[in-house]
Amino acid sequence: MGPKVSFDCFSDLGSQDIDQNHDWVNDPRQRYSKLVDIDTFVSRNCRINAKKENIIVDYQTLNGNQKIIFKRIESHYNDVFNGHQIDPLRIIVMGTARIGKTYLIKAIRSRLQEMVGTGSKSPIIVLVPTGVAAFNIDGVTIHSGLSIPIINDSKRLDINKERLKQLQDKLSDQAFSERNNEPFGGRSVILFGDFGQLSPVLDLPMYADNKRDALSNSGLAVYKQLKKVYKFKIIQHQSGNSKEQQELKGIFLRLRNGEPSIEDWIILTTRIEDKLSVIERNEFSNALFLLTKWSEVNAVNIDQLRSLDVPIAKIQAIHTGGNEAKKVDSDTAHRLKACILLARDARVILMANLQTEIGLVNGMMGIVQEIIFSEDQGPPCLPIAGLVSFDNYKRPTITSLEGKKVVPIAPI
């Protein structure tokens, strides 16, 4: 977590008189009546709110394309539940944003839950690439769902067998017993998404003719198992229907397809900073910066912190691996910095999926309201927690005497 992603502790911030003379221990406690066990607040409330809501979907509201896919999956699992030996589904459902994919997933999940009984575990696992998507669709990240470590030097994937076993037990005791060595372990797989959004990471596109390594060839072979493709084309709901918003959506769609036009370029040039009024430029003063170099990121972060004109805490990490641990870079340390700068009113972003179940996910942004230290400590010691008010966060919080709702984020 950090102001605009990164930090630079080689500046004078955190070492000036305003920083050194600040009462880091008592000042924040004046604004909160109770700060007990805040270091475990997130984990405790995650357990309390872990119950899944039963999502009821009216299947009659599905449109034509949605209903075709829904009926195909419903029919397939009805055969499986009745003990019929049939091939697993291998389906791709394609479409851009706001096309109805999420609603269809909820309908499928709800219907299959009805088929196994409301008191039973879900017969499907919804895996998604990001924490934000996992929270929005009530799924789990691929890494979490399959117990894949973030950093894994092993060439063998140690899948969570117990998690996948629930699929076998709930569908049919014999359905998968002979299929352990088949692609996907003989389970049905339905891929939802927009193939125009993400390019291959350190790999070739599927249509490339270049020579591939063994792992890439294996991935391509598995992908070719997906024989049936459905494509959604009609957008189900739109947010923003002004002329400008419709123009921008059209530009994004053409850029996605590699079909930009001169007219698109002309429209975009009207948004160059020098062509905007002073009032409009000022509206971007708190906007998120997207930069290409870490040095530029650090410079922006320092400028943003300095502009707050408040005491800044320079906090040093505690190394648990001896002298060697102090030498590793932040990438090796799961993006943890050896030193960070924090201050009240600093804009921050979560850098990891803290608790997906309650919406504390990678990329979530907020503002630091307080930094809570132990009663006999202050910077550069680690705080007990930073109290952050997150954007659009509706789950459990602590409320200050001033009415601000915050979440305690404890050091790792």
172 has pLDDT over 50: no
Query: For residue 76, what is the domain's CATH number?
Result: 3.40.50
Q: Please report whether residue 87 resides in a domain.
A: yes
d(CA 110, CA 107): 5
d(CA 330, CA 327): 10
Regarding beta strands 127-128 and 140-141, do their DSSP bridges make them parallel or antiparallel, or are they unpaired?
Answer: parallel
Two tokens at 36? Answer: 């007990």
If one compares 340 and 147, the residue with the highest pLDDT of the two is 340
Q: Which domain range does residue 110 map to?
A: 64-231
Q: Please report whether residue 56 resides in a domain.
A: no
pLDDT at position 372, please? 92
Q: Please report whether residue 68 resides in a domain.
A: yes
Same structural domain, 207 and 273: no
Same structural domain, 227 and 255: no
What percent of the chain clears pLDDT 70, i.e. is strictly above it?
Answer: 80
Query: What is the residue-averaged pLDDT of the chain?
Result: 80
8 Å CB contact between 22 and 311:
yes
Same structural domain, 81 and 36: no
If one compares 268 and 65, the residue with the highest pLDDT of the two is 268
Regarding beta strands 385-390 and 405-409, do their DSSP bridges make them parallel or antiparallel, or are they unpaired?
Answer: antiparallel
Tell me the average pLDDT across 29-50.
Answer: 81
Same structural domain, 311 and 266: no
Q: How many CB atoms lie within 10 A of CB 347?
A: 18
Q: What is the pLDDT of residues 102-116, one digit of tens each?
A: 889 989 988 888 888
Domain total in the chain: 3
Same structural domain, 291 and 271: no
- Partners of residue 94 on adjacent β-strands: 193, 231
Q: Please report whether residue 55 resides in a domain.
A: no
pLDDT at position 314, please? 92
Same structural domain, 170 and 218: yes
What percent of the chain clears pLDDT 90, i.e. is strictly above it?
Answer: 21
Q: How many CB atoms lie within 10 A of CB 177?
A: 10
Q: Please report whether residue 195 resides in a domain.
A: yes
Same structural domain, 214 and 303: no
Q: Please report whether residue 15 resides in a domain.
A: yes
8 Å CB contact between 93 and 69:
yes
Most confident of 17-21, 229-233, 247-251: 17-21
Q: Please report whether residue 262 resides in a domain.
A: yes
Same structural domain, 266 and 193: no
Same structural domain, 91 and 201: yes
Same structural domain, 387 and 261: no
Tell me the average pLDDT across 321-342.
Answer: 66
Q: Please report whether residue 135 resides in a domain.
A: yes
Same structural domain, 92 and 136: yes
168 has pLDDT over 60: no
> Does the pTM of the predicted model rise above 0.75?
no
Backbone dihedral angles phi then psi of residue 180, each to the nearest 5 degrees: -60, -30
Same structural domain, 319 and 225: no
